[in-house]
A = this chain, B = another copy of it.
Amino acid sequence: MQKKIRLGIIGGGGESLIGVLHRVASFINDNYEIVGAVFNPDHQRSLAFAREIDIPTNRIYKDFDTLIEEEMKLLPSERIEVCSVLTPNFLHFSMAKKLLDNGFHVICEKPMTTTLGEARILQQAHQKSGSVFALTHTYTGYPMVRQMREMIKSGELGKIHKVDAQYYQGWINSVIHDPLERSKVWRLDPKKAGISSCMGDIGVHAFNMVEYTTGLQVKSVLCDFNYLYDDNQMDVDGTVLIRLGEYVKGVIRSSQVATGEENGLTINIYGEKAALRWEQERPNFLYKITDTGPVQIYKPGHAYNSELSLDGTKLPPGHPEGIFDAMANIYLGAARAIRGEEYNDGEFPTMLDGVRGMSFIEATVASHKGGNIWVELD
């Protein structure tokens, strides 16, 4: 018999898309129960949302600090065990840190922090805490992404020598060409969005996928951003040459002005023996190609898949699962970790992924601003 894990939610109220994604993901495997929340900085709205989704309102707190304070007064057996941090980016660091410092487990939206410095501090706080920290790079929860990782780990591709990852969206195209419009987008305001728009928001996902699937680390980057207009200070497009070894090279391509693209995250890994291709918009198809045989399409749920992949599939082959299911897989892995059960490496992204991601973002900015020079990741 296992009790549901007591989950707190910070942010994600109302029409929040990230809110519904996390809430549903927490339900899917019957592991979590939402027992407390600050859905919104406006307490009345927070309460209203709790009522709307029929959650008891007695632990809907007026703000984050109150949540911590009040929950700490409760018995450990009643207290929130883990908090999902879904607030605006600039708040992730301070909230996650305070949660860890007070012994809570944390499920944190990306970007983990706004600077690499913060990430390092959070990393130390995490090491001290002994808590579970899961970073929701959602795409690693797809069964076929997990299958990529396991196939590469088992040597099916041989030595990797080339990677090519892309994350193309088009949504900023619809606002950037008008000076007034573009001045109103918070993502293009350095004060609100941090040092990077395109790399910070989506390029870092592609970076994470490269490291997640290959098990390799990006050593250095050379980056060229495109701002499109003189008065725009934020990258809306960027191409990053990457090196993962002396002769292991690749490219990460990221754009928010790739007109018409929706959520075009793709990854291609080339090794001596074979290559793998995956696209986020058709997540249930993984292509293995070789120099000599037929192309092979792997699909979820088949016995030929790895344990890590099969663990992330609930229904038999041919029943498409999607991004809610991918996020649910990350919540499932975190649940096992929180309960102290066994789990496999790769079930959820960790603090290390968060530190690596911030290191990548800062390196790309440094490279571009330095005149497209090579910059090493810490």
> Would A289 and B314 be within 8 Å (CB), given that A54-B30, A177-B272, A296-B295 are in contact?
no
A1 part of interface (Cβ distance < 8 Å): yes
Determine the chain B residues whose CB is within 8 A of the CB of A224 once the complex forms: 222, 241, 249
A351 part of interface (Cβ distance < 8 Å): no
A340 part of interface (Cβ distance < 8 Å): no
Q: Which of B4, B51, B372 contacts A374 (CB 8 A)?
A: B372
A139 → B minimal CB distance (Å): 10
Taking CB atoms and an 8 Å cut-off, the chain A residues in 321-335 that contact chain B are 321-325
A319 part of interface (Cβ distance < 8 Å): yes
A272 → B minimal CB distance (Å): 6
Instruction: Say yes or no: A314 contacts B177, CB within 8 Å.
Output: no
Q: Which of B20, B170, B272 contacts A275 (CB 8 A)?
A: B170
Determine the chain B residues whose CB is within 8 A of the CB of A299 once the complex forms: 262, 294-295
- Residue of B whose beta carbon sits closest to that of A374: B372
Chain A 251-264 per-residue mask, 1 if CB under 8 angstroms from chain B, else 0: 10101011111111
Summarize A's interface: helix, strand, loop or mixed: loop
Instruction: Say yes or no: A294 contacts B298, CB within 8 Å.
Output: yes
Determine the chain B residues whose CB is within 8 A of the CB of A350 once the complex forms: none
Q: Which of B288, B289, B314, B318 contacts A20 (CB 8 A)?
A: B314
- Rounded to whole angstroms, the CA-CA distance of A263 and B289 in the bound complex is 13
Chain A 263-291 per-residue mask, 1 if CB under 8 angstroms from chain B, else 0: 11000101111110000111110001111
Chain A 168-208 per-residue mask, 1 if CB under 8 angstroms from chain B, else 0: 01110110010000000000000000000000000000000
A352 part of interface (Cβ distance < 8 Å): no
Determine the chain B residues whose CB is within 8 A of the CB of A261 once the complex forms: 275, 289, 318
Instruction: Say yes or no: A228 contacts B161, CB within 8 Å.
Output: yes
A43 part of interface (Cβ distance < 8 Å): no
Instruction: Say yes or no: B259 contacts A272, CB within 8 Å.
Output: yes
A64 part of interface (Cβ distance < 8 Å): no
> Would A259 and B270 be within 8 Å (CB), given that A297-B297, A298-B294, A304-B294 are in contact?
yes
What are 5 pairs between A and B in contact, CB < 8 Å? A170-B275, A258-B270, A262-B317, A292-B302, A324-B324
Beyond A21-B315, A260-B295, 10 additional pairs, beta carbon < 8 A: A17-B314, A20-B315, A23-B30, A161-B226, A161-B237, A173-B272, A174-B292, A261-B275, A283-B320, A297-B297
